[in-house]
Amino acid sequence: MGKYKFESTEHELFRKTLRKFLAEEAEVHYDQWEKDHLIPLAFWHKLGQLGYLCPQVEEEYGGLGLDFSFGVIIQEELERVGSSLIGVGLHNDIVVPYIEAYGSAAQKSRWLPQCVTGETITAIAMTEPGTGSDLANIQTTAIRDGNHYIVNGQKTFITNGIHANLVVVAVKTNPYAEKKHRGISLIVIEEGTPGFTKGRKLEKVGMHAQDTAELFFEDCRVPVENLLGEEGKGFTYMMEKLQQERLAVAIAAQSAAEDMLNLTVDYVKSRQAFGKSISDFQNTQFKIAEMATKIELGKTFLESLIEEHIAGQDVVTKVSMAKYWITENARDIAAQCMQLHGGYGYMEEYKIARRYRDIPVMSIYAGTNEVMKMIIAKNIGL
């Protein structure tokens, strides 16, 4: 598919350099990382050294002060290699923006420079064993005791959970708030804080190299200076920042869909059956034509959405639409591309097999697609 309209020669150069770096430093090691079930910290540090971590952060805090369009390119290129790299996009475009938007000057000076270098890896912990979609119902508490909050509770499915040394945690600072969401705050908890422990690394269907973990807080004393923004505003902050998170998931799903189509076009041209190339069968051509059309539709929608988001417009309904439609499109494309690969598509040495395992979770995280449809319906007036 073609490039976005907003891409200047600077963006093109940025993409080209990043793609070369990822080919040498990620693609060749990726299968091993999947077997090891971890991405080495050294890779994060290299990303940091080259300016690929949080390039949007203001220069005074060590970043490059670039806009989200460069983040889009990073998301796309990482996803082109594989979905296990989503933790980088989560750090860049999802967690660090909370600190940038709601952190005080002191908090930004304290945390942002290390987020840019990769010395600090971040995570966001909203989901708990008992609640995911119903976010207002979280049970982790942070009760004020002098100059500290005492945090108790458990989080699960946390991306970057193992590597993260700085976690933005959604907590109830007022468990008795009449409107449950008004009792929620965001607190930054650093690794090494007594009472904060990491659980096991969770075994997933796909994205094997991506670390996803449980986090535990047991009488964990967190200084009040680690409160992000105001007490009781945590839910509002999450609703604001979830828009970019959902957009990032749609961008990744679109990139994966394009990659799967490219892989499959190459494969069907090279594979022979009944004395012809698989690509000569009308069924193959129609399937490819259908997928290419849907990919083009997704790209056009995303392009306008990214532009509106960068311009600061309200994109809540459209982001929900994009997250739902583009991730489901990618899931359908994964199944169809696997089918067109025949038996080889089911073999681990073919990338489409890995894609088939990795893609479905995009319909689940960052708010399930059912939640996306609830938002769309509500905003339509139902």
Answer whether 88's CB lies under 8 Å from 80's CB. no
Q: Which residue has the tokens 């994205």?
A: 207
Please count the residues of this chain forming the interface with ligand FAD, following the rule CB under 6 A: 19
Answer whether 95's CB lies under 8 Å from 158's CB. no
Closest distance between ligand FAD and the C-beta of residue 254, in Å? 19
Closest distance between ligand FAD and the C-beta of residue 83, in Å? 9
Closest distance between ligand FAD and the C-beta of residue 25, in Å? 24
245 assigned to active site: yes
Helix axes 369-380, 316-340, angle to 10 degrees: 140
Task: Give the closest residue to 235 by CA, choosing from 156, 144, 126.
Answer: 126
Q: Does 377 bind ligand FAD (CB under 6 A)?
A: no
Query: 236 or 368, CB closer to ligand FAD?
Result: 368
Q: Which of 132, 153, 234, 298 binds ligand FAD (CB under 6 A)?
A: 132
Q: Does 291 bind ligand FAD (CB under 6 A)?
A: no
The C-alpha angle with vertex 163 and arms to 158 and 166, in degrees rounded to 5, equals 75
Task: Give the closest residue to 111 by CA, choosing from 99, 101, 126.
Answer: 99
Q: Does 138 bind ligand FAD (CB under 6 A)?
A: no
Closest distance between ligand FAD and the C-beta of residue 369, in Å? 7
Q: Does 320 bind ligand FAD (CB under 6 A)?
A: no
* Identity of the residue numbered 65: G
Q: Which two tokens stand for residue 238?
A: 């999450």
Q: Which of 4, 17, 46, 127 binds ligand FAD (CB under 6 A)?
A: 127
Q: Which two tokens stand for residue 109?
A: 């000076």
Round to whole Å and give the CA distance between 214 and 154: 7
Identify which range of 45-53, 99-107, 192-200, 362-370 contacts ligand FAD by CB under 6 A. Answer: 362-370
Closest distance between ligand FAD and the C-beta of residue 102, in Å? 17
Task: Give the closest residue to 19 by CA, choosing from 274, 277, 320, 255.
Answer: 255
Q: Which residue has the tokens 């009792």?
A: 183
Q: Does 370 bind ligand FAD (CB under 6 A)?
A: yes
Max Cα distance, the chain (Å):
79
Identify which range of 65-73, 117-125, 321-329, 350-358 contacts ligand FAD by CB under 6 A. Answer: 117-125
Which residue of the set 76, 245, 258, 303 is catalytic?
Answer: 245
* Identity of the residue numbered 64: L
Task: Give the closest residue to 211 by CA, choosing from 23, 42, 28, 40.
Answer: 40
Query: 69 or 160, CB closer to ligand FAD?
Result: 160
Query: 122 or 264, CB closer to ligand FAD?
Result: 122
Q: Does 212 bind ligand FAD (CB under 6 A)?
A: yes
Sites of contact with ligand FAD (CB under 6 A): 123-127, 132-133, 157-159, 204, 212, 361, 364-365, 367-368, 370-371
Residues with catalytic annotation? 245
